[in-house]
Structure 1
Amino acid sequence: MGQALVTGARRGIGKAIALALGSAGFDVAVADVEAGEDLQAVAKELKGMGRKAAAIKADIGDLGSHARVLDEAEAAIGPLTTLVNNAGVSVMSRGDLLDVTTESYDRCQSVNARGTFFLTQAFAKRLLKVKSTDHRSIITITSANATAVSIARGEYCMSKAAASMMSKLFASRLSDEGIGVYEIQPGFIETDMTAPSKAKYDALIDNGLTVVKRFGQPAEVGRIALTLASGLLPYTVGQPIQVDGGLLTVRY
């Protein structure tokens, strides 16, 4: 199928995407800022499927590390065909928009927007140097907050909106090169990141916040990422796929 690098892959959505790709025949390098037992366990599970796999320490906010991360991934599993930009950070603390700190704002921008942009750029340059008959793709996991306002997490919303525009830009730039660029906008997905606010949103979901009255599961996002990485969404250019149970569906 191909060789994929998935960032932010030690748990949650990133882990689910890595396993979905592996189950379909992709060799997968999993990367995370924390390269401990959890990340090693994901790589081990992939190898148990008969796939080539590697666990790589990666802080995508560190632009100087991008070449090393890509080099390590290719040394372990072969020339990359697929990049999944899943790594991201949330706000340092929720609160009034008027109290957002420069530290929290810069952290979100550094990882979610700036780091993601330049890793994508570095990956795209590599793809353009090699001819391939495999479907080649870049998939960026943004958020429903790329569109929906959450004033308690304003800096996060802004960074994900930037990542969403990034996906459209690269989709337009790389379309003639035969490289598919896609965006997934998850809504409420049951992960460690959403656990602290799950009770609050469970009540809102029960009262109609989403059309499908439950949290989504990481494996559901994984299936969609696999669909995109497999080239099964032809004649599309950067459209966001909203995996949100109808959260962003306009209703009246």
Structure 2
Amino acid sequence: MLDKAENSTAIGPVDAGPKSVGRGVALVTGGRRGIGRAICTTLAMRGFDIALVDIVEDQEVEKTVSAVEATGKSAIFQQLDISETDKHDEIVENVQFQLGEITCLVNNAGIQVPVRGDILDVSEETFDQLMDINLKGTFFLTQAVARKMVSTKSGYKERSIITITSANAALVSPEKGPYCISKAGLSMASQQFAIRLAADGIRVHEIRPGLIETDMTADVFEKYSPDVATGSICPMRRWGQPEDIATGIATLAIGAMPFSTGDIYNIGGGMQIPRL
């Protein structure tokens, strides 16, 4: 069985590169901790100023802002429940007014089912909450940012929209049905935006994390760790770390995959590979 010490091994953040490089502003939803914090700090190391958007404002936000500022880049916090779609345009305008042009959107915010269980017992309330945040909120925030990007005469070569879905966009987990459905919907939305924005020079990417050690997976860490250790779930035999996801996002955000849009990047240690 994997313990916490064994599980902590992961590749480090992307090399920071020249500190003078300015890449515009990355708006990161759900950025206060975990994967979101790793994304914020890694993108800052690669030259982005950071607009951190989250539903909660607490000391975790302060830690993330401080981590970004320690790289020499600027950071602001905007409090938002992304399901409140009528506030999206205001947030986008505030970010551009305070920091400058948004050149990268990272859709990281999302929630898990409150209780894992039989799909036959899923309530309409639970279903609606998952769709409102994971799918509807992300879709319309992407729309708001995309409209701003299209209407802006940009001086930046690299502009991107990166959406974090899940291995569950394709892999069925009946005990969390609405979550899987919301992520599958996001996957299609990402490809739709990719087609629409390609001619505008805006690349759209989808990241599908596998098992990543975060607060969201804490309740199943002990359950899945034996299978992770044997390779039956994850051939690389370790849990993913937030930095693994952040490294992939930074690679895409800086344009290191320049002829890619609408593609799906699995970051799950091989768990997406079909096996007998």
State TM-score, norm by structure 2: 0.89
| CA displacement at 1:112 relative to structure 2 | 0.6
Structure 2 unmatched ranges of 5 or more: 1-22
Q: Which residue of structure 1 aligns with residue 151 of structure 2? A: 129
1:246 aligns with 2:273: no
1:89 aligns with 2:116: no
How far off its partner does 1:47 sit?
Answer: 1.4
Cα-Cα RMSD: 1.0
The separation in 2 between residues aligned to 1:249 and 1:234, in whole angstroms, is: 25
Q: Percent identity?
A: 43
| Cross-structure match for 1:6 | 28
Name the SS for the 2:142 alignment partner.
helix
- Counterpart of 1:156 in structure 2 is 179
Q: Which has the higher contact order (CA 8 A, sep 6+)?
A: 2
Within the candidate set 57, 60, 64, 1:38 is matched to 60
AA in 1 matched with 2:240: G
**What is the DSSP-based 3-state SS (H/G/I as helix, E as strand, rest coil) of the residue aligned with 2:49?**
strand
| Equivalent position SS for 1:81 | strand
Which residue pairs with 2:71 in the alignment? 49
Counterpart of 2:249 in structure 1 is 225
* Runs of 4+ more than 4 Å apart: none
Distance in structure 2 (CA, Å) of the matches to 1:209 and 1:130: 44
The match for 1:215 among 239, 247, 271 is 239
**Which residue in the other structure is 1:182 paired with?**
205
- Residues 109-148 of structure 1: CA deviation (Å, up to 9, x unaligned): 0011101000000100001111224211000000000000
User: Which residue number corresponds to residue 165 of structure 2?
Assistant: 142
CA shift digits 1:56-113 (9 cap, x unpaired): 1011000011112112222221111110000001112111010001111101100111
CA contact (8 A) 2:134 2:183 kept: yes
What TM-score do you get using the length of structure 1 for normalisation?
0.98
Please tell me the residue identity of whatever aligns with 2:65.
A
| Contact 1:182–1:239 (CA under 8 A) maintained in structure 2 | yes
- Deviation track 1:232-251 (CA, whole Å, cap 9, x = no partner) reads 11222211100011111122
Distance across 2 between alignment mates of 1:43 and 1:76: 15
Matched, 1:18 2:18: no
